[in-house]
């Protein structure tokens, strides 16, 4: 599966629904119609595509959105959410994480306390990392079959963020305002 086919699946699910669970159902169904090697390739492609946004700058954007409280797991799930935005928004965010301020899903959260964000609104999509395994396991009846297939193909898939670039203190309000001006206005940190 090449990146064009990968993005077609991601964007196809996005056009069907904005509900993350419904999108996963759609992706799982689509993957289950494909040969097993393509399901393996989908998972490999997901991580290959995700890797360029595994940066300290993107983590800073997530920290800003999450009010300065973004854990390793939250950042990992945030990366999958950014992939789920589709290719165009992903490419913009990869070049400039502050461009996420233009994403309608985030604009709807701006100014609202996190306690009012529904599960489907949170800018995290952990389950995207499992959808290929679910499809693979359903087709083969093997638990952890995808992991074994990835290993057999010599593909090492990380399970935690390994950010590249230079780390900086997102809690420094002045620095955050300089580096992420739009997100800082939308999700202001307190001094």
Q: Three-state SS for 188?
A: coil
d(C-alpha 158, C-alpha 11), whole Å: 24
d(C-alpha 53, C-alpha 50), whole Å: 6
Query: What are the backbone dihedrals phi and psi of residue 172, each rounded to the nearest 5 degrees, phi first?
Result: -80, 100
CA dihedral of 166, 173, 74, 125, whole degrees rounded to 10: -100
d(C-alpha 39, C-alpha 45), whole Å: 10
Q: Token pair of 61, please?
A: 């954007």
**What are the C-alpha distances in Å from 177 to residues 170, 182, 183, 187?**
9, 8, 8, 10
End-to-end CA distance of the chain: 47
Over residues 102-156, the pLDDT tens digits come to 999 999 999 999 999 999 999 999 999 999 999 999 999 988 899 999 999 998 8
Over residues 30-83, the pLDDT tens digits come to 999 999 999 999 999 999 999 999 999 999 999 999 998 899 999 999 999 999
**Has residue 29 got a pLDDT over 70?**
yes
Band of residue 191 on the pLDDT scale cut at 50, 70, 90? low
């Amino acid at each position: 599966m090449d990146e064009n086919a990968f993005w077609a699946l991601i964007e196809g699910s996005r056009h069907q629904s904005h509900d993350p669970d419904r999108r996963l159902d759609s992706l799982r169904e689509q993957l289950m119609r494909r040969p097993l090697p393509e399901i393996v390739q989908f998972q490999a492609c997901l991580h290959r595509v995700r890797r360029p946004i595994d940066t300290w700058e993107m983590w800073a954007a997530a920290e800003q959105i999450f009010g300065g409280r973004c854990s390793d797991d939250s950042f990992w799930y945030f990366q999958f959410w950014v992939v789920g935005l589709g290719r165009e928004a992903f490419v913009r965010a990869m070049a400039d994480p502050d461009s996420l301020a233009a994403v309608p899903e985030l604009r709807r959260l701006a100014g609202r306390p996190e306690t009012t964000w529904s599960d489907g609104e949170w800018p995290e999509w952990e389950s995207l990392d499992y959808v290929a395994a679910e499809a693979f396991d359903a087709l083969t009846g093997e638990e952890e079959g995808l992991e074994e297939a990835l290993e057999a193909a010599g593909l090492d898939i990380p399970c935690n963020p390994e950010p590249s670039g230079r780390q900086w203190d997102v809690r420094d309000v002045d620095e955050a305002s300089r580096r992420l001006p739009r997100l800082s206005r939308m999700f202001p940190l307190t001094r």
